[in-house]
Amino acid sequence: MTTWVPASCSLPTIEQPLRVAEFDALFAERPAGSSRPDRSHLEMLLAGGEGVEDRVRELVARESGCCSFFTFTVTPGPEQIRLGIEVDAAHEAVLDALQERATAVGRDLR
């Protein structure tokens, strides 16, 4: 499996597995679907619930702090949360690996 933690990530190496585990848990617990409108953009639907929006916002805020090439958009809905993830062309492989990981740890998100 491809790692999606690029060398440009400023999160200390010792903390990276913990962050990956947080994303793994989110993808495994809350998947509802995904789409890939283009190479640099991934849209994920996550099942809603109490506290889920806050959890997602907090996680992506921390990820943006160490990996500035990510742009996250969180759009809450009545039953689902849409998580938009965009990267620049130089980091498309990171988005590929993130999508691969989400599929591997959860259900098929097609």
Task: Read off the pLDDT of residues 25-38 as tens digits, 9 standing for 90 and up.
Answer: 898 888 778 899 99
Domain that holds residue 64: 15-105
Residue with tokens 């999160």: 11
* CATH classification at residue 31: 3.30.1360.40
Asked if residue 6 is part of any domain, the answer here is: no
Answer yes or no: is pLDDT of 1 > 60.
no
**Distance (Å, whole) CA 34 – CA 70:** 17
pLDDT in tens, 43-58: 999 999 899 999 999 9
Work out how many domains the chain is built from and give that number.
Answer: 1
Q: What pLDDT is stored for residue 81 in this prediction?
A: 95
User: In angstroms, what CA-CA distances link 9 with 16, 83, 90, 100, 101?
Assistant: 9, 20, 13, 19, 17
pLDDT in tens, 61-109: 998 988 889 999 999 988 999 999 999 999 998 899 888 888 887 654 4
Asked if residue 78 is part of any domain, the answer here is: yes
Residue with tokens 């740890």: 105
- The phi and psi torsions of 10 (rounded to 5 degrees) equal -95, 5
Tokens of 68: 């500035």
